[in-house]
Structure 1
């Protein structure tokens, strides 16, 4: 930590974060000031000083834009002060979303790697399948999610699986594109050398294409795991469930609880950051085991 701060790599991040917080507070005051003034007029409150109004604006119960300390306070109340089994706990809702995210991410990654293998080794698959894979991502996920939920509910499949399938739909695409690029990255001279050694197609794949494609895999997985989380949250919106971060967002929008909405959004962002960090750690461990220099 000390070395990171001394070499200057952490200092710009801290400065940017401080700047964002300051801008956020200014925006919160500007957006909520007129609403508080209207409230004073409706309730016949007079002789309010600037400091009092500023304090009321920054601590409004239902602000248009919550102040950062309000969101942090809401996160504290819904994580530390609530039992993890309570439906008021963001930990509980976060786990519901995380379970679908991880299942969808694993399925999407395996599916993407498998498709990439077929595409690289079969020219007909490349010409016929790759355009459809790209076209599939042009359909908005908000249009697909309700159809997936309704169809699977009609056949008796509900809960985790529909959300995981939506996560799979979003997470497999970056893996397919990245791994196709990775599997095709060996140079012609390297492939010629493998043919000189009379290597089979399987040996070429395991000893040349796969090791070279690993950096592409981890880069794709970082994008895929974040997309998988988005898919899980989107899948919770039309499901009518009371569990998950998506359900918290819906409940907050129904009752005008903007602080709850922003707390859920921040929790989702922190969850995505944690998942990407885990993938990065796995990448470092793999590189260290293979002797790859950072």
Structure 2
């Protein structure tokens, strides 16, 4: 509406708007919503919404696998970094560096390695998803392990408890809230990793492939690409909310 009113320029200036305000570049919201109820293609009667939900279920399954794998690795790394300070000084910088590697460059390498082992392509997608999700779990869990109440730590020492007993009975319970904070961030990262992994792995399934297919035919149906992105975004929100619900249940039981 703004572009149509100002001739595609920023109001009161001669500067063009950063995005073309045409129906091709920016479909109307009602056009996108209407596309969800229309057939996904001329060769099927299945609606676009049904098709996208089916593809999204594949992506969320891969993201869930990646979150479980990445979360498990993250917790183990956090415990190791907490209990082995010398290792922490040497390993932590490399963990930070690992997150600076462009995913679009790393994903094809993982796909090639996994394919060389004869494993299915969804395994590569899961690994890529886990790669993005382990770091926030590691950092937040480590912070939680180090935030244990000093009084409780001193009590365990006065009882001559071992490091393992202190870890299991004091540090890990105190780290649960921080762990869930990391899992919420990891859930977002795992969905992004799964989508990028699907683009590189060529699985033929998943919302990532649906987005890519819609991009190929953008000029004839731009609203389908926007609809696919919308569904993918909502799926990520739902995934995070599931983690939030689990956090509420666990912490409520923990405080009773």
TM-score interval, smaller chain: 0.7 to 0.9
Residue segments in structure 2 that go unaligned for 5+ positions in a row: 9-20
Q: Name which of 180, 183, 190 aligns with 1:221.
A: 183
What does residue 121 of structure 2 align with?
A: 159
Larger radius of gyration: 1
CA distance in 1, matches of 2:132, 2:152: 34
Q: 1:157/1:78 Cα in 2 relative to 1: closer, same or farther (>3 Å)?
A: farther
Whether 2:94 is the aligned partner of 1:132: answer yes
Q: 1:164/1:132 Cα in 2 relative to 1: closer, same or farther (>3 Å)?
A: same
Whether 2:32 is the aligned partner of 1:71: answer yes
Runs (4 or more) in structure 1 with deviation over 6 Å come to: none
Q: Deviations over 1:260-279 (max 9, x none)?
A: 21111111111111111111
CA distance in 2, matches of 1:228, 1:78: 30
Give yes or no for contact 2:122–2:203 (8 Å, CA) kept in 1.
no
Shift of the alpha carbon at 1:87?
Answer: 11
Shift of the alpha carbon at 1:119?
Answer: 0.6
What does residue 275 of structure 1 align with?
A: 239
Shift of the alpha carbon at 1:95?
Answer: 1.3
Q: RMSD over aligned Cα, in angstroms? A: 2.6
Please show how residues 29-108 of structure 1 align to structure 2 within 5 Å.
63-77=24-38, 89-108=51-70
CA distance in 1, matches of 2:124, 2:45: 28
Q: Deviations over 1:132-167 (max 9, x none)?
A: 111100101111011111222233223210000000
Q: 1:266/1:30 Cα in 2 relative to 1: closer, same or farther (>3 Å)?
A: farther
Whether 2:250 is the aligned partner of 1:289: answer no
Secondary structure of 1:199's aligned partner: coil
What does residue 143 of structure 1 align with?
A: 105
What is the TM-score of this pair, normalised by structure 1?
Answer: 0.74
Q: 1:149/1:135 Cα in 2 relative to 1: closer, same or farther (>3 Å)?
A: same
What does residue 226 of structure 2 align with?
A: 262
CA distance in 1, matches of 2:45, 2:170: 51
Shift of the alpha carbon at 1:88?
Answer: 7.2
CA distance in 1, matches of 2:34, 2:109: 37
Give yes or no for contact 1:113–1:179 (8 Å, CA) kept in 2.
yes
CA distance in 1, matches of 2:32, 2:70: 33
